[in-house]
Amino acid sequence: MQYRTLGRTGVQVSSLALGAMNFGQIGRTTQDEATAIVDAALEAGINLIDTADMYGRGESEEMVGKAVAGRRDDIVLATKAGMPMGEQRHQQGSSRRWLVTELDNSLRRLGVDHVDLYQIHRWDPNTGDEETLSALTDLQRAGKIRYFGSSTFPAYRIVQAQWAARDSHLSRYVTEQPGYSILQRGAETHVLPVTEEYGLGVLVWSPLASGWLSGAIREGRDVTTSRSTFMPQRFDITIPANRAKLDAVEQLAKVADEAGLTMIQLALGFVTAHPAVTSALIGPRTLDHLHSQLAAADTVLSADVLDAIDSIVAPGLDLAPHEKSDTPPALLDPSLRRR
């Protein structure tokens, strides 16, 4: 396992990190299975575990808490807040009112007195940067969080938050968690250059592109990933973007074969090769999934392999741009771009 410094924090984290989104109802992973996955991940050298309050409406945090009980000090523990947690209008977002309440809920579910990294799950256009940063700074000073970061923020919002922290003399975001994979390379255009400029650690989610790069999805095969059951539109190959992804996967499979690698090794080795990336978040549902992903822990792709990938999916290109999660709200909601 490789270890890298998380931004400018001085904290050393593994180049593969364990994402716990699949723990519980989302991935149908039981507590015993989750604990076995955590045990194996820690044994392999992974030392960062990432979850969120909204994964199973708190279920993932509860399962992670039980799995890490008794060895909290060995783990860099990260969670997130901001996505809806109920039907009430104030049970979401990044206001002081909600973050103070929800962090206590997360700590209770995790069974800990602090988290190492508390992340704002999505940019909240209804809340000013100073409001959020002030609340996070106070929670940091209270000892409930060690550091805080953002997740899936547009590049310009990452910059704005850095300026707001400087101007208001507040603590700043020290990490960003963007989506990034061979098939979705848009982060290379704006987000990753910004994180490098400001010295942010980067924890990449969906490096296997929701299973497209796992080796399970190939021409002529039925799609068998868990994501296809609740996101079928992302796997319908009659959709042009999905057809483009499948065509790219077939070419990438040849590159992997010629290099003596699995598709998973190719995919994870690609994202961890980028100098801006600290860790790739893997989200196994089973021990078999974990072991297949751990095989990429020390994968280093040659320049020839990286050049071959560039020739298949150009740098900065999203093959499915409509799947991006950091699109400015005005591009999605006509009422925000009309007077």
State both tokens at 269.
């080795």
Residues 6+ apart with CB under 8 A from 92: 82, 83, 84, 85, 86, 98
State both tokens at 297.
């822990």
* CA gap 279, 153 in Å, rounded: 17
Residues 6+ apart with CB under 8 A from 264: 208, 213, 214, 215, 292, 293, 295, 296
* CA gap 77, 117 in Å, rounded: 6
DSSP 181-197: -SSB-GGGTTHHHHHHH
Cβ atoms of 75 and 87 closer than 8 Å: no
* Active-site pick, 55, 118, 147, 180: 55
* CA gap 249, 245 in Å, rounded: 6
55 is catalytic: yes
Residues taking part in catalysis: 55
